[in-house]
Structure 1
Amino acid sequence: MEHRAARGIAAALAGLGVAAVLLACGGGKTAGEASPGAASAPAQPASAAQAALTVNAVVAVPSAWPRTLSANGSVAAWQESIVSAEQGGYRLAEVLVNVGDRVRRGQVLARMSVDTVQVELAQTRASLAEAEATLAEAQANAERARQLQTTGAISAQQINQYLTAEKTAQARLLAQRARLQSDELRLAKTTIAAPDDGVISARMATVGAVAGNGQELFRLIRGGRLEWRGEVTAAELSQVKPGMKVVLALPDGGSATGQVRMVAPTVDPQTRNGLVYVDLPAAGASSVRAGMFSRGEFELGRSSALTLPQAAVALRDGFQYVFVIEDQSRVRQTKVTLGRRQGDRVEVLSGLPQGARVVAAGVGFLADGDLVRVVEAAAPPASAAAR
């Protein structure tokens, strides 16, 4: 009896559970009836479901771009002075500067041993004192002879001898004074001084070495000034004018800005190129070094250019294409001709009207006529329009 009662209670509870589930799911409706929420849900558009890519759009707008002219050339010293020994045969006692040092005009670069010159200078000074004493005695004798000339106390021959001795003593004194000046000049030349302000670019002087007459001891970049000598073709030479701005691309990845100082009046008959001399920052003020080979861009002026991001251009079969957005969802592959490049943007010369909306990136995954979903329209950066 107890088992039968338990089975009856379980069956009743199961029936109540099934009824609750049916009420919760159907809301009291039959299985064939549809709910209002399901009937009001909109259907998805076919174009969105078939979109090949979700893209950003960019508008082709004109910008003011600089017109440039490229050239190659080398960096060199504006003027390089060779500092040499003005007299030879003396040992270098001191070398006071090294390569890269900035020096001032008249600054001592090296000194020679002066022992020999000082001894010779002392001898010359002694000879000068002797010549002065001889002259004083000769002048006194000549003066007495002049006083006795009318008295007849001494002969005319003796008077002439005294007068001649006076002139000879004067000449010897002048010779000793000239020799003294020569020895003092030799002593001064044992000190090697900078002929101008600048930077030491080379040093051949070594302490203890005997310098020869005219031997090169130092090289000096005058004023520390450097210049870039760009080679420009004869056809392009007329476009370059003094005062133009030039930007150099340096080997270390940096850049330097210079200004055209002079355009060569002649053209090399072998290469048909002319030189353009560009003033650069002083040596040490930047990473520019004499002897560097660099590429330069002359800024000739500014002109209007229709520009796009380089990522919007696809290269296929040797031609450039962009994808113009039509009807807000379909793209059309359009062939274009490109021109100048600046940063991440490129100039479109032909094939694209101004104001056209094109796919900004990911063009390598698209084909002509594909459906796309445009998320946003990207405006050109302000920096591109201000260039």
Structure 2
Amino acid sequence: MKGWIRWARTGAVIFISIGGIVVLLIWLAGGFREKIEPGPTALGVQPLGQARTMTVELMTVPLAEDAVGTVRAAHETEVGSKIMARVLAVNFQAGQHVEQDQVLVELEKGDLTARMSQSQAAVDAAQASLDQAQTDYDRIVRLRAEDSASELEFTTATNRLSAAKANHEQARSALREADAVIGYATIRSPVTGVVIDKMVDVGDMVRPGQTVLRLFDRLQLVATVRESLATRLEVGQQLPVTLEALDLHCEGTISEIVPESDVLSRAFHVKVTGPCPPGVIPGMFGRLHIPLGERQELRIPQSAVRRVGQIAFVYRDVDGNRVERTFVQLAGEHGDQVAIASGLSPGDRIVVDPNMLKGED
């Protein structure tokens, strides 16, 4: 008997606890509060007075979908050194616009100038040897015509002339190489573009193949577009683009639709190019606005809407002299207008400037 009483008490405690929790959850969810539906409410009416009114009408608005993307360089170029030398001057900064063939970096060329002088001296010496060999050859040819020179002398003169010509050409090749190498001491921009990154400073020692800067010549927005929407797009099509960091709105042209879908997201990469205003840099976030058609919706001025917490309402004209509060459900803001999901119908008249009503601030 005592066991049964103990069991009954335990069950009652559990039952009361569960009931209390359920009641608490219903209260937290607002189950005991009165709901306010969109539309007119029984809050009474007010005189219209001098307040301005307007007729609510359906508007035709464009329907679009946004595809997010990232600004990237269409072509990125790495500029490097072809020789080992110390940096003498750096004539650019990261973010600077540079023209094709503009001098960007100057390297020390004292050793290269000395090598150039040596090569020029070698050419001069080879030219003198060539002139002497040519003179000797011409003399032997004349003597041989008079039978005054042997075949051996003629062969020797011919060989000396050939060797002198070869030495002269070799010296000239070395001079051309020295001239080219001394040109490598001046690093120029291969394209017109903007410097992304500076990788050297004055006094640094650079080696052959080392990158001294990176630059890009054109920017593009690479957006991720779902495959069912990407199939509607075409190369050359113009679409609106927004860069939120700069509050920039412009038109872009589709330059490429990558012909491969991502197997995980089922989306395509769409590349959009266009005029690049100052301040746009790789890595910025952007949106590509893709039109889907049009739709009808109710829009009213933002000034006509009053808000109390999460509740929004307008003042609806009842009979030309009086107004009443009408609760509305908003569907999004569009500049100085707001879309209405429910609570108003086409033809309703609302107050545009509620501040003109008595009792409104």
Q: Residues 238 and 340 of structure 1: is their aligned pair in 2 closer, same or farther, counting only changes over 3 Å?
A: farther
Change (3 A) 1:312 1:351: same
Secondary structure of 2:245 counterpart: coil
Q: Deviations over 1:16-39 (max 9, x none)?
A: xxxxxxxxxxxxxxxxxxxxxxxx
1:117 maps onto 2:112 in alignment: yes
Question: Residues 253 and 274 of structure 2 are in contact (CA less than 8 Å); yes or no, is this contact kept in structure 1?
Answer: no
Shift of 1:67: 2.8
Letter aligned with residue 230 of structure 1? A
- Indicate whether 1:228 and 2:224 are aligned: no
| Structure 1 residues 246 and 272, CA gap change in structure 2 (3 angstroms) | same
Task: Give the corresponding residue for 2:70.
Answer: 74
Given candidates 62, 65, 73, the residue that maps to 2:61 is: 65
Residue number among 251, 261, 274 corresponding to 2:268 in the alignment = 274
Instruction: Say whether residues 1:91 and 2:83 are aligned partners.
Output: no
**What's the counterpart of residue 160 of structure 1?**
155
Q: What residue number does 1:130 align with?
A: 125
Which of residues 267, 273, 281 is equivalent to 1:289? 281
Counterpart residue number, 2:238:
244
Paired letter, 1:166: L
Range 143-152 or range 207-216, more displaced: 143-152
The 3-state SS of whatever aligns with 1:184 is helix
Using the size of structure 2 for normalisation, the TM-score is 0.72
What per-residue deviation string (whole Å, max 9, x for no partner) do you get for residues 131-165 of structure 1?
Answer: 11111111112222222334432221221111111
Identity across the alignment (%): 24
**Inter-partner Cα distance in structure 2 for 1:301 and 1:143:** 91
Match of 2:24 in 1: none
Q: Given that residues 45 and 324 in structure 2 are in contact (C-alpha distance below 8 angstroms), is that contact kept between their aligned partners in structure 1?
A: no
Does residue 356 of structure 1 match 2:348?
yes
Q: Does 1:261 align with 2:254?
A: yes
Tell me, yes or no, if the aligned pair for 1:94 and 1:207 is still in contact at 8 Å.
yes
CA distance in 2: counterparts of 1:235 and 1:59, whole angstroms:
39
Partner Cα distance (2:337, 2:156) in 1: 101
Q: 8 Å contact 1:70–1:296 — kept in the other structure?
A: yes
Secondary structure of the structure 1 residue equivalent to 2:181: helix
Secondary structure at the counterpart of residue 180 of structure 1: helix
- Residue-by-residue CA offset, 1:251-277 (whole Å, 9 max, x unaligned): 36x223131232413222232221222
Deviation per CA, 1:79-134: give whole Å up to 9, x if none. Answer: 222111122x2111111211222222111111111111111111111110111111
The 2-side partners of 1:278 and 1:68 are apart by: 17
Conserved in 2, the CA contact under 8 Å of 1:246 and 1:258? yes
Equivalent residues of 1:246, 1:297 under 8 A apart:
yes
Is the 8 Å Cα contact of residues 247 and 298 (structure 1) preserved in structure 2? no
Does the C-alpha gap of structure 1 residues 274 and 112 become closer, same or farther in structure 2, counting only changes over 3 Å? Answer: same
Whether the 8 Å CA contact 1:246–1:299 is kept in 2: the answer is no
Distance 1:335 1:106 in 2: 64
**1:145-156, aligned counterparts within 5 Å?**
145-156=140-151
> Which structure has the larger Rg?
1
Please tell me whether the aligned partners of residues 47 and 323 of structure 2 are also in contact (alpha carbons under 8 angstroms). no
| Equivalent-residue separation in structure 1 for 2:266 and 2:239 (angstroms) | 24
Aligned pairs (5 A) from 1:1-387: 51-53=44-46, 57-87=53-83, 89-222=84-217, 225-241=218-234, 242-251=236-245, 254-266=247-259, 267-282=261-276, 285-299=277-291, 305-309=297-301, 341-347=333-339, 353-358=345-350
Amino acid at match of 1:117: L
- One-letter code of the match for 2:140? A
Residues 301 and 212 (structure 1), Cα distance of their counterparts in 2 relative to 1, 3 Å cut: farther
Amino acid at match of 2:250: T
- CA deviations 1:334-361 (Å, max 9, x no partner) are 887x766422434457886532335668
Number of equivalences = 308
Measure, in 2, the Cα distance between the counterparts of 1:109 and 1:164.
49
Pair 1:374–1:100, CA change in 2 (3 A): closer
SS at match of 1:149: helix
The 3-state SS of whatever aligns with 1:152 is coil
Give, as a single letter, the amino acid of the residue that structure 2 aligns with 1:271: S
Moved more, 270-279 or 227-236: 270-279
TM-score in terms of structure 1 length: 0.68
SS of residue in 1 equivalent to 2:179? helix
Q: State the alpha-carbon separation in 2 of the partners of residues 228 and 54 from structure 1.
A: 55
Alignment deviations for residues 292-327 of structure 1 (CA, whole Å, 9 cap, x no partner): 1233434566655442346767999x9999886555
Unaligned runs of 5+ in 2: 1-42
Inter-partner Cα distance in structure 1 for 2:46 and 2:211? 72
